[in-house]
């Protein structure tokens, strides 16, 4: 979509997270703002890995952070485990924060290079008063072991001494220290070599199974997304284009933008045949997005209706939703 709608919400299934009509705007000057997340709704079931994909600047990171209320969204609701966290303030909001943790692309700069690894991982435990110093020290060692790092070797070393993959392991240890229920992974392997990517993806999968985590996996890499996700949400300029299982998306993407994204990546599966559709030009400015369907200025199928009427999500297959007036059918 560059559209809207809530038909895809599975409110009968007790989702862990329900996001409805989320709006995040960044002020550019007194008169204008960037419409980074423009009324997005989705849910995430317990234990699910939901991937969010789309070109640079489409609002993926903003969406991830807005779920954590950083910054507070300008509109919409985020219900986590039955609690509307957009309605919480002060200590009530602080109390739910540990439940959602985030991992970033640039692990090296997200860790304080001057701190010893043991202090990096101990920090959230200390802030949240999780046990005595001795108890926390044992917990830090357990966390390091669980992410495949030997505490004896690494605990006294500083973050700058480690490679990107090792730093991502340290970030993961820190993120799971407070027993979150939801992990928002923002391009967690994009900065890593391909061989290391697989190790970190395996580690995340391992953590997910051991700890019963639910994951939002933000990425621009559709090959990685196919390997890790149970469902994929495709974003364009602050809106959702399509929601589908990875298999459906690769085999029968119905939104012209999704098809263009898929056609742009080499897919190591000879059974998957997607007609190539090129996306011409750059995305328009989110300060002044096109009327109707936001994708229309780059869409070869655009009609007059696309300029005047925003497409709503419609179901085109079981669990497969698309926001387009002229969806592609195979
Ligand atoms: N702090 C900010 N102030 C103003 N505009 C911002 C800010 N952060 C992001 N934006 C704008 O909001 C839009 C969405 O940005 P965001 O970083 O969420 O996109 P993204 O999909 O994560 O991109 P990428 O793939 O490059 O990480 C972009 O137009 C971006 O320029
Ligand atoms: S056909 Fe119309 S609604 Fe569908 S993606 Fe293209 S411009 Fe948008
Ligand atoms: Mg981003």
Residue 240 CB–ligand 2 contact under 6 Å: no
- Per-residue b or e along 209-241, where b marks 16 or more CB atoms closer than 10 Å to that residue's CB: eeeebbbbbbbbebebbbebbebbbbbbbbbbb
Residue 147 has pLDDT above 70, yes or no: yes
Residue 290 CB–ligand 2 contact under 6 Å: no
Confidence of residue 266 (pLDDT cuts 50, 70, 90): low
> What structural domains and CATH numbers belong to the chain?
1-81+219-330 (3.40.50.300)
Q: Which ligand is nearest to the CA of 220?
A: 1
- In tens, the pLDDT along 97-135 reads 999 999 999 888 889 888 999 999 999 999 999 999 999
User: Hey, which of 29, 33, 34 would you mutate to test ligand 1's pocket, going by the most ligand atoms within 8 Å of its Cβ?
Assistant: 34
Tell me, what's the pLDDT at 4? 78
The CA 63 to ligand 1 mean position distance, Å, reads 10
* Among 203, 156, 204, 281, CA closest to 49: 204
Tell me, what's the pLDDT at 238? 96
For 23, residues 6+ apart whose C-beta sits below 8 A from its C-beta are 35, 37, 38, 39, 73, 74, 75, 76
* pTM listed for this prediction: 0.94
The CA 246 to ligand 1 mean position distance, Å, reads 25
The CA 24 to ligand 3 mean position distance, Å, reads 14
Residue nearest to atom 7 of ligand 1 (CA): 26
Question: What mean pLDDT is reported for the chain?
Answer: 92
């Amino acid at each position: 979509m560059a559209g809207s709608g809530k038909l895809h919400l599975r409110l009968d299934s007790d989702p862990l997270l329900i996001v409805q009509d989320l709006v995040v705007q960044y002020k550019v000057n007194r008169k204008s703002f960037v419409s980074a997340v423009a009324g997005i709704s989705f849910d995430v079931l317990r234990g699910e890995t939901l991937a969010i994909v789309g070109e640079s600047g489409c609002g993926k990171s903003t969406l991830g952070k807005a779920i954590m209320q950083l910054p507070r969204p300008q509109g919409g609701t985020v219900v986590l485990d039955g609690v509307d966290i957009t309605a919480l303030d002060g200590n009530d909001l602080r109390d739910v924060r540990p439940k959602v943790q985030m991992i970033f692309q640039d692990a090296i700069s997200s860790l304080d290079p001057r701190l010893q690894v043991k202090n990096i991982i101990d920090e959230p435990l200390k802030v949240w008063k999780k046990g005595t110093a001795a108890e926390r020290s044992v917990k830090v060692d357990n966390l390091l072991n669980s992410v495949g790092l030997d505490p004896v070797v690494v605990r006294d070393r500083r973050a700058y001494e480690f490679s990107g993959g090792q730093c991502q392991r340290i970030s993961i240890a820190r993120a799971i220290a407070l027993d979150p229920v939801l992990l928002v992974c923002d391009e967690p392997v994009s900065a890593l070599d391909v061989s290391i990517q697989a190790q970190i993806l395996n580690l995340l999968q391992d953590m997910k199974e051991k700890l019963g985590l639910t994951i939002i996996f933000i990425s621009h890499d559709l090959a990685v997304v196919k390997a890790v996700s149970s469902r994929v949400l495709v974003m364009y300029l602050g809106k959702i284009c399509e929601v589908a299982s990875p298999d459906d998306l690769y085999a029968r993407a119905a939104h012209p933008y999704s098809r263009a994204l898929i056609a742009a990546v080499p897919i190591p599966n000879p059974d998957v045949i997607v007609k190539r559709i090129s996306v011409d030009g750059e995305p328009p400015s989110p300060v002044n997005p096109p009327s109707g369907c936001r994708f229309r200025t780059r869409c070869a199928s655009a009609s007059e209706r696309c300029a005047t009427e925003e497409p709503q999500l419609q179901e085109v297959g079981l669990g497969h939703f698309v926001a387009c007036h002229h969806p592609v059918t195979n």
